[in-house]
Amino acid sequence: MKNLSLHIIDIFQNSVSAKAHKIELIIVEDRINDILRISIYDDGVGMSEKVVAQVVDPFYTTRTTRKVGLGIPLFKQNAESTGGSFKIVSKEGVGTKIDAEFGHAHIDRQPFGDIAGAVVLTATSYPDVRFVYTHTVDDKTFVFDTQEVYELLEGISVQSPEVVLMLKEFIENNLDEINN
């Protein structure tokens, strides 16, 4: 995958497939300590310890349409190639937590890509799932919570093109603000 937003979309899709009702994306950029942490938590069906051990293997997948599952193994490899780490914890009936840590300024760290687009695409595609996205850059934090958005929209469809564009611009503007 060419950028981190594609990894995030892949994990979001896994969470939705696992029947999650709530998905949290937490991105922490600690530029002083050269750390980028991406955490994704869901309350889906979870996985057994055996399956957790297998999901980092590119030749393991639960899909019947193909014999490989590269998303999580590539995410792990990309984190570790920057001197970072990767951890996945899951419990059946509770959910899954994925934590990937990267060297923030490492030359091999992939660019973010379109994080705002990834969040909006997934959130508007699955309006029954609550998405909470928290992004911290040093001492500045931005939080996007679809539950709050739906309350503000007062019945307007989150899938209307105007709303999708507004949400993407809202996230992009807030990301610009916390990065300055």
pLDDT in tens, 35-86: 999 999 999 999 999 988 888 776 655 555 544 457 898 999 999 999 999 9
Q: How many CA atoms lie within 13 A of 148 on its CB side?
A: 6
pLDDT at 67: 44
Find residue 22's DSSP bridge partners.
Answer: 130
pLDDT at 43: 98
Instruction: Report the percentage of the chain scoring pLDDT > 90.
Output: 81
pLDDT at 54: 84
Report yes or no: 132 and 145 within 8 Å, Cβ to Cβ.
yes
pLDDT in tens, 13-43: 999 999 999 999 999 999 999 999 999 999 9
Domain assignment of residue 82, given as a range: 4-178
Domain count, the chain: 1
Q: Which CATH number goes with the domain that contains 78? A: 3.30.565.10
Give residue 107's identity as a one-letter amino acid code.
I
Give residue 81's identity as a one-letter amino acid code.
S
pTM, two decimal places = 0.92
The yes-or-no verdict on residue 9 having pLDDT over 80 is yes
Helix runs in the chain, H state only: 4-17, 49-54, 71-80, 115-125, 146-153, 161-178
Cβ contacts of 128 within 8 Å, gap of 6 or more: 21
- Rounded CA-CA distance 20/14 in Å is 9
The yes-or-no verdict on residue 164 having pLDDT over 90 is yes
What angle do helix axes 115-125 and 161-178 make, rounded to 10 degrees?
140
- Rounded CA-CA distance 95/98 in Å is 10
Please tell me which of 9-13, 64-68, 155-159 the model is most confident about, judged by mean pLDDT.
9-13
Cβ contacts of 1 within 8 Å, gap of 6 or more: 7, 10, 71, 74, 75, 78, 110
pLDDT at 58: 67
Provide the mean pLDDT of the chain. Answer: 92
pLDDT in tens, 105-139: 999 999 999 999 999 999 999 999 999 999 999 99
For residue 83, the Cα-to-chain-centroid distance in whole angstroms is 20
The radius of gyration computed from the CA coordinates of the chain, to the nearest angstrom, equals 16
pLDDT at 53: 85
Locate the DSSP E strands across 32-129.
Answer: 35-42, 85-91, 95-103
